[in-house]
Amino acid sequence: MANADLMDKLVSLAKRRGFVFQSSEIYGGAGSVWDYGPLGVELKRNLKDRWWSSMVHQRDDIEGLDAAILMHPRVWEVSGHVEGFTDPLIECTSCHRRFRADLPEVAGGQCPTCGTKGAFTAPRMFNLMFKTFMGPVEDSSATVYIRPETAQGIYVNFLNVQGAARQQVPFGIAQIGKAFRNEITPGNFIFRTREFEQAEMQFFVKPGTDEEWFEKWMHVRMEWHKDLGIRPEKLRFHEHGPDELAHYAKKAYDVEYEFPFGWKEFEGIHNRTDFDLSRHQEYSGKRLEYIDPVTNERYVPYVIETSMGVDRAALVLLADAYREEEVEGETRVVLGLKPALAPTKVGVFPLIKKEGMPELAEKLHADLRSAAIPSFYDVSGQIGRRYRRQDEVGTPWCVTIDGDTVKDGTVTIRDRDTLQQVRVASDKVVAWVRERLAS
Ligand code: ATP
């Protein structure tokens, strides 16, 4: 399948089946903003829950935080974002479309929209932060920024969390939340948007141990991505060269995935040194040092950051899981999502509407629901069509209730990937599914 086709197919499947809709579609859509539908919100939640569980619940050296999106405007001056969070912007003087000057599409000096050559303006730096006003007066003293990263909320709370949770360095703070960037050239569906979600973790370490921790986190994060079921050959690291490093970073690696439009970053791992904490300490006048309880040594910790875009990671999951295959002379579309990530876990199908089958099927569906296992009850159409509808949204198991169920209480469970069918007692289905979801 051509790569461009894959993106078109994903966008269309996502809309048709309720993963992702364009924001404000009835008004023609809002520029590069997307809404997650019933299945998309489940996929994203499963991804975030898995991240939260591995970062916060399964470790005792990381605490959670949910900081506000709006912060004191000084935060963004001190962090360097007001001055430095910019991209070079050029405009085609023929069609007036604007582009990011550092994108490969414009490298030859030709406008990708109208084809005119040599008509770009000189680049000017464009700040990516959205601004608004706090309070009723719209003047410059009331300007606030809508956060472009969740990290700063963690830095300003470093000592609050450390004290309240009685943590000792090395420890981390994790947060999932919205971030906003007024991107010049958004696109590729949910890859680059103006409103998105980040799952970030800032790990505070003693200076001098930062390189070792950086290596550890690179390893942990790559293994985590592989454990999502992403094909390992589609994952790689990319090290930032000196011209790519952000103003705060000593070292940075991107975790990249081979999207249909090429190898691109979906998580950044950064050694942010003591840049942020030192700057906040200097400009707020509040000490942000850590005092080692054993040696009484005082220092500003270094920070190793892991910053994953949740929407980009969701796109990785969709792109990696999508496949088309021939089954019994028919093409079927399958989203081969890991069961724990799939939005719906079980399809429940009474074979025909007689002999008590619907009642048994409804009972099983209700049992699954009360066990908080998302299940979809479907009575309409040929059984093959019901399977296809679940295959294309990644439902790992479909249960059919047939004549034998009425006689002996067993049902057939069919596996999405192997197509194998097993017979299981209807009252054991919840346990059967639970067991497989846990693995
Ligand atoms: P890029 O180079 O693609 O603009 P970045 O290097 O600016 O990304 P970071 O600041 O490191 O990105 O942000 C961490 C993560 O947040 C990225 O790996 C990505 O997954 C996500 N992210 C950043 N910008 C966007 C965006 N506009 N839309 C969706 N996700 C984004």
Task: Determine the pLDDT at residue 4.
Answer: 73
298, part of any domain: yes
Nearest CA to ligand 1 atom 8: 265
Say whether both 172 and 275 belong to one domain: yes
Say whether both 193 and 311 belong to one domain: yes
Say whether both 34 and 172 belong to one domain: yes
**Ligand 1: centre distance to CA 309 (Å):** 6
The residue range of the domain holding 255 is 3-71+148-318
pTM: 0.94
Say whether both 289 and 376 belong to one domain: no
Say whether both 152 and 278 belong to one domain: yes
Q: What is the 3-state secondary structure (H, E, C) of the chain?
A: CCHHHHHHHHHHHHHHCCCEEECCHHHCCCCCCEEECHHHHHHHHHHHHHHHHHHHHCCCCEEECCCCCECCHHHHHHCCHHHHCEEEEEEECCCCCEEECCCHHHCCCECCCCCCECCECCCEEEECCEEEECCCCCCHHHEEEECCCCHHHHHCCHHHHHHHHCCCCCEEEEEEEEEECCCCCCECCCCECCEEEEEEEEEEECCCCHHHHHHHHHHHHHHHHHHCCCCHHHEEEEECCCCCCCCCCCEEEEEEEEECCEEEEEEEEEEEECHHHHHHHHHHCCCCCEECCCCCCEECCEEEEEEEEHHHHHHHHHHHHEEEEEECCEEEEEECCCCCCCCCCEEEEECCCCCCHHHHHHHHHHHHHHCCCCEEECCCCCHHHHHHHHHCCCCCEEEEECHHHHHHCEEEEEECCCCCEEEEEHHHHHHHHHHHHHC
Task: Determine the pLDDT at residue 15.
Answer: 97
Q: Which atom of ligand 1 is nearest to the CA of 200?
A: 14
**Ligand 1: centre distance to CA 197 (Å):** 10
Angstrom distance (rounded) from CA 310 to CA 20? 14
**Ligand 1: centre distance to CA 312 (Å):** 8
**Ligand 1: centre distance to CA 54 (Å):** 22
Say whether both 177 and 298 belong to one domain: yes
**Ligand 1: centre distance to CA 87 (Å):** 13
**Ligand 1: centre distance to CA 266 (Å):** 7
For 244, list phi and psi in degrees, rounded to 5.
Answer: -100, -20
140, part of any domain: no
Say whether both 368 and 257 belong to one domain: no
The total number of structural domains that make up the chain: 2
**Ligand 1: centre distance to CA 414 (Å):** 39
Say whether both 314 and 372 belong to one domain: no
Angstrom distance (rounded) from CA 137 to CA 143? 9
Say whether both 313 and 350 belong to one domain: no
Can you give the CATH number for the domain in which 410 is found? 3.40.50.800
Which tokens hold the place of 328?
């019994």
Can you give the CATH number for the domain in which 181 is found? 3.30.930.10
Query: Among 178, 235, 307, 317, which residue has the most ligand 1 atoms within 8 Å of its CB, making it the best to mutate?
Result: 307
Say whether both 172 and 44 belong to one domain: yes
What parts of the chain have a pLDDT lower than 50?
A: none
Query: Among 184, 188, 196, which residue has the most ligand 1 atoms within 8 Å of its CB, making it the best to mutate?
Result: 196
333, part of any domain: no
Q: Which atom of ligand 1 is nearest to the CA of 267?
A: 18
**Ligand 1: residues whose CB is within 6 Å?**
181, 183, 192-193, 196, 198, 265-268, 307-309, 311-312
82, part of any domain: no
Say whether both 161 and 236 belong to one domain: yes
14-25 pLDDT, tens digit each: 999 999 999 999
Q: Which atom of ligand 1 is nearest to the CA of 198?
A: 16
266, part of any domain: yes
Nearest CA to ligand 1 atom 6: 268
Could you give the C-alpha distances from 368 to 75, 362, 433, in angstroms and in order?
A: 48, 10, 9
- 287 Cβ contact partners less than 8 Å away, ≥ 6 residues apart: 281
**Ligand 1: centre distance to CA 371 (Å):** 37
111, part of any domain: no
Say whether both 19 and 154 belong to one domain: yes
13, part of any domain: yes
Q: Which atom of ligand 1 is nearest to the CA of 254?
A: 18
355, part of any domain: yes
